[in-house]
Amino acid sequence: MIRIPTRGKPMEHKAILTLHEEFAIGEVDPRLYGSFIEHLGRAVYGGIYEPGHPAADEQGFRGDVLELVRGLNTPIVRYPGGNFVSGYNWEDGIGPKEKRPRRLELAWRSVETNQVGVDEFVDWCRKAGTQVMMAVNLGTRGPEEARNLVEYCNHPGGTAWSDLRRANGHADPHNIKVWCLGNEMDGPWQICHKTAEEYGRVACETAKVMKWTDPNLELVACGSSGSGMPTFPAWEATVLDHTYEHVDYISLHTYYGNQKNDTPNFLAKSLDMDHFIRSVVATCDYVKAKKRSKKTLYLSFDEWNVWFHSHEADRKMEPWQVAPPLLEDVYTFEDALLVGCMLITLIKHADRVKMACLAQLVNVIAPIMTVNGGGAWRQTIYYPFQHASLFGRGTALNLNVRSPHYIDAEFGEVPTLEAVGVFNPQNDEITLFAVNRDLEKSLPLESAGQDLSGYRVKEHLVMVHPDLKAVNTLENPNNVVPTRREGAHIAGGKLSAELPAASWNVIRLAKI
């Protein structure tokens, strides 16, 4: 974003956007609105799967949860981990359920019953209207088990693994296209953590045998588990040195929290995400230049969210339970604002970030919560994600935002307005996503650039609440929800709108 220096002349409290259909950043890959289900806590058991629940279908999948997932229109869901995958034997989760082993799961210190495995998850994804992004275990296992899993999932038949899938009730191949080569292998907490050299070598060889098994795969190499890791970004440079020509994406992960209860600082944390993305793009392009390669590497931001509310409770959790309530963050209204800023940041980098996964989807740091045997509801963060997924498809537009700013000790000048646009050529709609970070003042907004006389404001959706810490619960599920706001209009070819203090906004423009 270009920020116009305002030193010396205080800027009017107003934001100006240069809005033009052709001022494009890049095409938004729908997979930017992906999510994540890990065998962790109650994401699978008690989340998407609960046989015996009144809303469960014949396979044990909760219909109420499926409905809430469908409402997000998320095109891809990462599975089965996460830290979990680095100790996972995928063969434990196939075949007759009564024969599947119960195992100690070392990443989250739980007991894994294996009642859901790859075949069930593929079935669930079909019901949810989404696709699988599959991760392979490069912790305790390696290329052999990974290529067997590709053969099991994607080979039509006539080989041991593909015929086993057929015998297990899936005559047609699953055709899973996107695969992650392990998870967070840079992290010492990871089961069989590796150095960049060790991981780079095994990822390269695994990528080769997986693509030889199915040349249609798209592969994601593990980047750093966060930009604060001491090995960042040397990890990316080394890993890509080994894998550049064999993979298609490198992963990024980040989670933020408001531990200091400093909301202006918290809402600025998407600037850190922005910096992280720029640094990874620069590292990819450095390796590209070094290798004299014609290929451009893309980014998969396959874990991102707010995560901090549950840390204390999780430290006290008894180990070796089946599906304990781990990572059950209850999200506040201000968390939804930061999630909105993070979504805007991802869209602003749509030219290079082609996939992203809100981590996670149900119960575990999730937009959807359930009670075992009881109801399901939408957390505050459900809504900005839903809006971006529904209306943020098409071409990302650079709005060249001119905004007032505030000063934060960590981030310096923080723009009061975080915003991006998306032009959808299919219906000729332009959607603006905007967060007003000012906690006290509403922000008038005006467009410059394109004459918008041919457009009308279809709707202005707003999420706003007098209490930044307000949450949704089973008993009060509609405490924080979006509403329609009147007043935004186009006159003289310009858009004018008022963004309430501390608000998430979606302004949809349609052709007259």
Active site residues: 184, 303
- Phi then psi for 162, rounded to 5 degrees? -70, -35
Q: How far apart are CB 112 and ligand AHR at their closest, in Å?
A: 14
Which residue, 43 or 337, is less far from ligand AHR as judged by CB? 43
The footprint of ligand AHR on residues 346-365 (CB under 6 A) is 359-360
Rounded CA-CA distance 454/452 in Å is 5
Which residue, 38 or 236, is less far from ligand AHR as judged by CB? 38
Q: How many CA atoms lie within 13 A of 98 on its CB side?
A: 0
82 interacts with ligand AHR by CB under 6 A: yes
Q: How far apart are CB 184 and ligand AHR at their closest, in Å?
A: 5
**Burial (CB count <10 Å: 0-12, 13-18, 19+), residue 497:** buried
Q: How far apart are CB 409 and ligand AHR at their closest, in Å?
A: 27
Q: How far apart are CB 187 and ligand AHR at their closest, in Å?
A: 7
**In contact, 203 and 236? CB cutoff 8 Å:** no
Q: What is the DSSP string of 107-138?
A: TTTEEE--SS-HHHHHHHHHHHT-EEEEEE--
303 interacts with ligand AHR by CB under 6 A: yes
Span interacting with ligand AHR, options 65-73, 78-86, 165-173, 485-493, rule CB under 6 A: 78-86
114 interacts with ligand AHR by CB under 6 A: no
Rounded CA-CA distance 509/198 in Å is 51
Which residue, 310 or 386, is less far from ligand AHR as judged by CB? 310
Instruction: Based on DSSP, count helices (H) and strands (E) in the chain, helices before strands.
Output: 11, 26
**In contact, 288 and 356? CB cutoff 8 Å:** no
**In contact, 436 and 390? CB cutoff 8 Å:** no
224 interacts with ligand AHR by CB under 6 A: no
Q: How far apart are CB 265 and ligand AHR at their closest, in Å?
A: 22
Which residue, 35 or 450, is less far from ligand AHR as judged by CB? 35
77 forms beta bridges with 35, 132
Which residue, 300 or 505, is less far from ligand AHR as judged by CB? 300
Q: How far apart are CB 261 and ligand AHR at their closest, in Å?
A: 23
**C-alpha angle 484/488/489, rounded to 5°?**
135
Detail the DSSP E strand segments found in 218-322: 218-221, 249-256, 298-306, 321-322
183 interacts with ligand AHR by CB under 6 A: yes
38 interacts with ligand AHR by CB under 6 A: yes
**In contact, 151 and 162? CB cutoff 8 Å:** yes
Q: How many CA atoms lie within 13 A of 156 on its CB side?
A: 0
Q: How far apart are CB 193 and ligand AHR at their closest, in Å?
A: 12
Which residue, 44 or 359, is less far from ligand AHR as judged by CB? 359
DSSP summary character for residue 310 = T
83 interacts with ligand AHR by CB under 6 A: yes
Which member of 184, 272, 329, 418 binds ligand AHR (CB under 6 A)?
Answer: 184
Span interacting with ligand AHR, options 1-9, 76-84, 240-248, 373-381, rule CB under 6 A: 76-84
Strands 483-484 and 455-463, how do they pair?
antiparallel
Q: How far apart are CB 46 and ligand AHR at their closest, in Å?
A: 17
- Strand order, beta sheet including 24-27: 24-27, 395-397, 417-424, 429-436, 503-511, 455-463, 483-484
34 interacts with ligand AHR by CB under 6 A: no
355 forms beta bridges with 300
418 interacts with ligand AHR by CB under 6 A: no
80 interacts with ligand AHR by CB under 6 A: no
**In contact, 305 and 359? CB cutoff 8 Å:** yes
Helix, strand or coil, per DSSP, at residue 441: coil
Which residue, 117 or 182, is less far from ligand AHR as judged by CB? 182
Which residue, 189 or 212, is less far from ligand AHR as judged by CB? 189
Core vs surface per residue 42-64: b (16+ CB within 10 A) or e: bbbbbbbbbeebebbeeebbbeb
Strands 298-306 and 249-256, how do they pair?
parallel
Which residue, 79 or 244, is less far from ligand AHR as judged by CB? 79
450 interacts with ligand AHR by CB under 6 A: no
Which residue, 38 or 335, is less far from ligand AHR as judged by CB? 38
Nearest residue relative to ligand AHR (C-beta): 82
**In contact, 431 and 506? CB cutoff 8 Å:** yes
Q: How far apart are CB 227 and ligand AHR at their closest, in Å?
A: 14
For the chain, the straight-line distance linking the first and the last C-alpha, in angstroms and rounded, comes to 30
Q: How far apart are CB 365 and ligand AHR at their closest, in Å?
A: 6
Q: Which residues bind ligand AHR (CB under 6 A)?
A: 38, 81-83, 183-184, 225, 303, 359-360
